[in-house]
Amino acid sequence: MNCLIIAAGRGRRFFSQTDPKPLIRLLGLPLVERVILTANSARLNDFFVVSGYNGERVRHALDRMASSRNVRISHLINEDWEKENGFSVLKAKTVLNDNFILIMADHILDESILLSLKNRSIGEDEVILAVDYNIHGNKFVDPHDVTKVLVEDGLILDIGKDIKKYNAYDTGVFLCSPAIFPAIEESVHRGVGSLSGGIRVLAQKGKAKAADIQDAFWIDVDDDMSLRKAEGQLLATLEKPSDGVISRYLNRPLSTRITKHLLKTTITPNGVSFFSFVLSMLGAVFFFFAGYIPLLIGATLAQLASVIDGCDGEIARLKSRMTEFGGWFDAVLDRYADGFLLLGLTYHVYSPNKDFLIIVIGFLAILGTFMNSYTADKYDQFMQRKLGRGEHYFRMGRDARIFLIFLGGLVNQPLSILVLIALFMNTENIRRMLALYKSES
């Protein structure tokens, strides 16, 4: 399905930005690029982008994006970009003859909104607007600036920023038939050149419908404050259901702060994975030296590597750079890092007294660790089926294991921590096997 994106605005309300509004960066990506990538992940393929203010620069940036991201982008130019947004929509009249999705370039939203909307049936003379009925609890909306909608029995009765009676907000996402173009032209003849004016014309004919977005996220990024709100929400979505307690309450809050800075650079997710691996290996080297200071340095490096290890996935998701190789590469490096860290810790404990029991404990810790990683995918899939995607569940994994190493180094109790890792990892593996066994019996 085609997708029309309105990206003609200037963005006068951004005091800290000099870029044209579509190119203002949100966590490493221009707003318009983030919108296109979200739409593309919802299986929208052909994009028609209307540019206006500083249009040549916007088009040049989009051409680079189209090449690097392998998406199809066609340019439409609105020289009258200072007029109401309906004039930008009309630029697509001659090129869009079938149903299409219409999005604003400054509206950041959940992919689920697009997936739901594009699968709806629509008459050849209708338009469906995705609306948000949460008009009292939506902290991302400026009630003085948002476009309001009055809906009754799924039909839009009125729309506008200044209407007194309303029960929903306009999210700026539409499923349109070509009927939107003559409706806007009729509105222009009435003296209103906005897209909302065209929707009002269709509403008066009973041809404008509303689709509830449920609890999905959206935000109109119109100023510096809304940009910060959008950043906060996108960072909040990085938390995974499989995150352990240490990841959720310690590592993730730290890694997202690091990620915000890394997004401003050209560093790749795989580069972050490798750097984390190097830190872990350096920590393991320190374990081969006797004494408290090398132990503390090694344990601290291991914990730092564990925090940074979360940044690769965060960068990949925020920049839409997820690849199968990247996930596999990170997992392989983690296994090597785990092995060397526990080998170094075992040697650190074994070296002073040469007790063979320590080798046995170290072996059990390494074995439990590797089996813990091996059983993780199967267990995660089971829990997601059982609880549903997005629901948190208990899982003791790498975050807890590395944090135990850090604590052991901090309090100078490497043997105790080695015993705990061997005990906890193998117990966790048995617990997972029992959980899956009971689910099938």
Tell me how far CA of residue 52 lies from CA of 22, 80, 85, 241, 296, in angstroms: 10, 7, 11, 42, 58
For residue 312, the one-letter residue type is D
Angle 119-115-376 from CA coordinates, rounded to 5°? 130
Q: What is the CA radius of gyration of the chain?
A: 27
**Smallest Cα–Cα separation from 269: which of 321, 335, 334?**
321
Please name the CATH architecture into which domain 238-440 falls: Up-down Bundle (1.20)
**How do strand 148-152 and strand 107-109 relate by DSSP bridges?**
unpaired
Lowest mean pLDDT among 13-17, 284-288, 372-376: 13-17
Q: Which residues contact 354 (CB under 8 A, 6 or more apart)?
A: none
For residue 389, pLDDT beyond 70: no
CA distance 72 to 268: 24
Q: Please check whether residue 433 is in contact with residue 379, taking contact to mean a CB–CB distance below 8 angstroms.
A: no
Per-position DSSP letters for 157-224, written without gaps between them = EEEESS-SS-SEEEEEEEEE-TTHHHHHHHHHHTT--SHHHHHHHHHHTT-EEEEE-TT--EEE--SH
Alpha carbon distance 201, 184 (integer Å): 8
Phi and psi based region of residue 81 (left: phi greater than 0; alpha: psi -120 to 50; beta: remaining):
alpha
pLDDT, one tens digit per residue, over 210-219 is 999 998 999 9
pLDDT higher than 70, residue 141: yes
The CA distance from 434 to 432, in Å, is 5
Decide if pLDDT at 390 tops 70. no
Return residue ranges of the chain for CATH 3.90.550.10.
2-229
DSSP 42: T
Q: Is the pLDDT of residue 381 over 90?
A: no
List the single range of 197-206, 258-267, 431-440 with lowest mean pLDDT: 431-440
Q: How many C-beta neighbours within 10 Å does residue 68 have?
A: 9
Coil, helix or strand at residue 309: helix
CA-closest candidate to residue 140, choices 215, 71, 208, 78: 215
pLDDT of residue 26: 93
Q: Give 357-367 pLDDT, tens digit per residue.
A: 999 999 999 99
The residue among 145 and 390 whose pLDDT is bigger is 145
Q: What is the mean pLDDT of residues 368-386?
A: 85
Q: What is the rounded average pLDDT of the residues 178-202?
A: 95
Question: Between residues 384 and 261, which one has the greater pLDDT?
Answer: 261
> Where exactly does CATH 1.20.120.1760 map onto the chain?
238-440
The 10s digit of each residue's pLDDT in 15-54 is 767 788 999 999 999 999 999 999 999 999 899 999 999 9
Distances 188 to 129, 177, 194 between C-alpha atoms, Å: 20, 19, 8
Q: Which CATH superfamily is domain 2-229 in?
A: Spore Coat Polysaccharide Biosynthesis Protein SpsA; Chain A (3.90.550.10)
What is the spatial distance between Cα 47 and Cα 31, in angstroms, rounded to a whole number? 15
pTM of the model as a whole: 0.85
CA distance 76 to 246: 49
- The DSSP 8-state label assigned to residue 247 in this structure reads I
Average pLDDT of span 168-174: 95
Q: What angle do CA 105, 108, 110 make, to 5 degrees?
A: 130
Please give the average per-residue pLDDT across 334-353, as a whole number.
Answer: 95
